[in-house]
Amino acid sequence: MVVESSLLFFAYLIGSIPTGAILSRIYGNVDIRKEGSGNIGAANVYRTLGKIIGVFTFLGDVLKGTAPVLISFWLLDGAHREIWISLTALMVLVGHCYPLFLKFQGGKGVATALGAFLAIDPWVIPGAFIIFILVYYKWKYVSLGSLLATGSVPVLVAFSSASRIYVFLATVFTIFIFYRHRENIKRLWQGREIKV
């Protein structure tokens, strides 16, 4: 239990590392929370500081999701292994969205959730990515592509994994990310969402 509890705390701390805020400060000398949408995620960094910093923000957020989950795969065993792995993934997502280091004002979780499932069930990622690309190519909304790709993950996991626990985790992730995108959903509905 000590290992499991420590792993959850570690995952939250790793998730709390604000990749976009750090890179924007180092390479753009700006507080990304005061630019564009005010979000620390890759899309806002991309719009504010350009492609390179946006891509590195995205990769950093993905890595945050992948690393703690991979470590949990290596360290954990036993009957409840999948539950603890799922809790680790959830804690890293919570850390990204409510980071300790930014007064609990973080990102929306898509890239970090992607990173977590890259470790848990990598076969779902190409399908979700294709959905994102098709939606983005058609409508040019990152948020819409992210939401529809996220919404596809529980279905994709159900087909690719025998674990009901991971299907449940994917469903929780989807609900969580939709909640974090509630303002984007409102703007999409009103036709006011920002295109990239």
**pLDDT tens string 63-111:** 999 999 999 999 999 889 999 999 999 999 999 999 999 999 999 999 9
pLDDT digits (tens, 9 = 90+) for 163-186: 999 999 999 999 999 999 999 999
pLDDT digits (tens, 9 = 90+) for 133-174: 999 999 999 999 999 999 999 999 999 987 999 999 999 999
The pLDDT of residue 110 = 97
Comparing CA positions, the residue from 112, 125, 102 lying closest to residue 69 is 112
- Cα–Cα distance between 30 and 96 in angstroms, integer? 20
Q: Across the chain, what does the average pLDDT equal?
A: 95
Give me the DSSP letters along 127-159.
HHHHHHHHHHHHH--HHHHHHHHHHHHHHHHHH
Q: Tell me: pLDDT of 27 over 90.
A: yes
Quote the pTM value.
0.94
- Cα–Cα distance between 186 and 196 in angstroms, integer? 18
